[in-house]
Amino acid sequence: MRLRGRKGIREDIERQKELVVLNAKDYKGKWAELFGNNNPIHAELGMGKGRFISEMSKKYPNINFIGVDMYDELIRKASEKAKVAHEITVETEEDAVLSIPNLRLMLFNIEHIEEAFAEGELERVYLNFSDPWPKKKHARRRLTHPGFVAKYQQILNAKGEIHLKTDSQSLFEFSLNSFADMGLRMRNISLNLHVDGIHPDHVMTEYETKFAGQGMNIHRCEVVIGQEALSTHQEQLKQAAASALAAESKESAE
Ligand SMILES: C[S@@+](CC[C@H](N)C(=O)[O-])C[C@H]1O[C@@H](n2cnc3c(N)ncnc32)[C@H](O)[C@@H]1O
């Protein structure tokens, strides 16, 4: 997605100091301080126009959300969407900088994400409809390339997870292989999310609305990164297996 900067956009986002972070590197290791609490931090990498991150921040006030994108215009659009989602009415120039306590929009290139977050500073990374970069020679630019995933591993904490959604079958295949090659555990894999049945709390992104509306399959998976998340997942699997065995032996006894 390429957008040419429009005069005034930079000034507009610069004015929104409470919501927009232009100097993300300065907050490395200090995001909890910026939010003023130790709630988990979830980041959407490549948020586009920001519908997902706005709605998530409204729905889950006890989680801190950061929407990351590299274009001024998208940060501005996302800030407008956030204010609508949070029902902030902008009456004057000054009001435009009103803060949303659990949301920040960060202008940043994900290629250098480890320069913006310290080790274990995030609890979840959302990759929603990331650019598929279909040409093989561009594989390194895909946000699920092992080079990127290694950076996410570094900045995610013990409960860390990556949640991926995409319409692109080729990106999905590439991503699953990438995660598997890195020895990572995947769960809740869906090749057709909207047919498998979406959870009532499911929040759609702009691209998801468009592609699902066109009848395209939406692929999704969760990747368990942190040790604590992995232990919880393994415990859940053990319990599910034990209940299945118990049900089976009860059935055969009857
Ligand atoms: C296809 S759009 C998806 C937007 C949104 N997540 C959705 O699902 O509607 C991908 C977004 O990722 C952003 N993006 C791609 N590469 C990026 C990078 N290296 N750093 C920051 N943003 C990036 C693009 O600017 C674009 O807004």
Angle between helices 146-155 and 169-181 (to 10 degrees): 60
Topology at the third CATH level for domain 9-227: Rossmann fold (3.40.50)
- List the domain boundaries for the chain: 9-227
Tell me whether residue 131 is one of the annotated catalytic residues: yes
> What pLDDT is attached to residue 5?
52
pLDDT along the chain (254 residues), means of 10: 65 91 98 97 98 97 98 96 85 60 97 98 98 98 98 97 98 98 95 86 96 95 90 87 88 84
> What pLDDT is attached to residue 87?
86
Structure tokens at 141: 């630019």
> What pLDDT is attached to residue 88?
82
Radius of gyration of the chain (CA): 20
Q: Is the CB of 141 under 6 A from ligand 1?
A: no
Q: Is the CB of 155 under 6 A from ligand 1?
A: no
Beta bridge partners of 45: 68
